Amino acid sequence: MRILVTGVGGQLGHDCSIVLGDRGHDVLAPTHSELDICDPGAVDSYFDVNRPGVVIHCAAYTAVDKAEDETELCRKVNVDGTRNIAVNCARYDIPMVYISTDYVFNGSGDRPWEPDDATEPINAYGLSKRDGETEVLKNAKHFIVRISWVFGINGNNFIKTMRRLSETRDTVNVVDDQYGSPTYTKDLAELLADMIVTDRYGIYHAHNEGVCTWADVAEETFRDSGLGTKVNRITTDQYPMKAKRPMNSRMTTDLLVKNGFRRLPDWKDALARYISELDG
């Protein structure tokens, strides 16, 4: 299969291109400088010249706090850029995988979100990703895959930040009242590779199994890394940030199983493998 992966310079795109290549696919992996998804003419001609058979769209504006000030740029990438890709998928009648986020939900309550629950983003980034979903939904051949708390080798993430902080601090304050599940890009890339060879389209939730808080992730990171750094558990109110975060990011992954896909391994298992990858 000829697969276009956008965002290869980031965490998920990087691992997708490796996993798909290992499975023998013909992977088209343009970097941001090779293909700016915000340039409709460039996207049109990229499709005309390269003729992908499916697209995994990982490119995005992901700076959640900066998005509150750079809302226009964020929407240009996440809404207009996504539309440019979706329009071409429609033009060539090919499937599109769009990577979305737990931030499409408002974070109320403590029930895990179902894929068909009403969306109500509470920050500019979440709103842009939800509006990107709307563009993708115009095509019948869509996989919208909502993920959360992403970590991968190629880029910055919470786990790398914790390990860096541990170099200068004995104790780190970490928020302990937001609930969700981390997603290891290597595991997710395997799932996406399974999905694209099917026609089981729809809106999915996918992340490593198990629910935790950021403080739990930090503690496990220090343990797996053999570091003695302690975690001081604090509340969201004690750590003000520019963009509001959903308190409840639990999401059900039942649809994966119902539609014949495998759930991702437990988050602690994923984190241990990731720490080995970082240290390897």
Ligand X SMILES: NC(=O)c1ccc[n+]([C@@H]2O[C@H](COP(=O)([O-])OP(=O)(O)OC[C@H]3O[C@@H](n4cnc5c(N)ncnc54)[C@H](OP(=O)(O)O)[C@@H]3O)[C@@H](O)[C@H]2O)c1
When binding is defined by CB under 6 A, the residue of 46, 113, 149, 261 that contacts ligand X is 149
Q: Please name the residues in contact with 65: beta carbons below 8 A apart, sequence gap of 6 or more.
A: 241, 242, 243
CB 83 within 8 A of CB 59: no
The residue range among 20-28, 59-67, 106-114, 270-278 that interacts with ligand X, by the rule CB under 6 A, is 59-67
Q: Please name the residues in contact with 118: beta carbons below 8 A apart, sequence gap of 6 or more.
A: none
The reply to whether 17 sits near ligand X by the rule CB under 6 A is no
- How far apart CA 108 and CA 248 sit, in angstroms, is 6
The reply to whether 155 sits near ligand X by the rule CB under 6 A is yes
Nearer Cβ to ligand X, position 139 or 148?
148
Give the tokens for residue 191: 């799932």
Least distance to ligand X from the beta carbon of 233, Å? Answer: 21
Nearer Cβ to ligand X, position 21 or 40?
40
- How far apart CA 279 and CA 197 sit, in angstroms, is 33
Give the tokens for residue 265: 């391994």
Nearer Cβ to ligand X, position 147 or 228?
147
Least distance to ligand X from the beta carbon of 36, Å? Answer: 5
The reply to whether 36 sits near ligand X by the rule CB under 6 A is yes
Catalytic positions, written as ranges: 125
Helix ranges, the chain (H): 11-22, 40-50, 71-75, 82-91, 124-137, 158-165, 185-195, 214-224, 254-258, 267-279
Nearer Cβ to ligand X, position 80 or 254?
80
Least distance to ligand X from the beta carbon of 81, Å? Answer: 5
The reply to whether 182 sits near ligand X by the rule CB under 6 A is no
> C-alpha angle with apex 265: 262 to 271, nearest 5 degrees?
150
SS3 state at 75: helix
Q: Give the residues across from 4 on adjacent strands.
A: 28, 55
The reply to whether 212 sits near ligand X by the rule CB under 6 A is no
Least distance to ligand X from the beta carbon of 77, Å? Answer: 4
# residues contacting ligand X (CB under 6 A): 26
Least distance to ligand X from the beta carbon of 149, Å? Answer: 6
Q: Which of residues 241-270 bind ligand X (CB under 6 A)?
A: none
Least distance to ligand X from the beta carbon of 170, Å? Answer: 27
When binding is defined by CB under 6 A, the residue of 32, 141, 160, 200 that contacts ligand X is 32
When binding is defined by CB under 6 A, the residue of 1, 21, 23, 38 that contacts ligand X is 38
- How far apart CA 206 and CA 265 sit, in angstroms, is 11
**Torsion sign (Cα): 154, 156, 157, 158:** positive
* x/- letters, 75..114, toward ligand X (CB under 6 A): --x---x-----------------x-x-------------
Q: Among all chains, which residue has been given the structure tokens 């409709």?
A: 40
Query: Which spans of this chain sit near ligand X (rule: CB under 6 A)?
Result: 6-7, 9-13, 32, 36-38, 58-62, 77, 81, 99, 101, 129, 147-150, 155
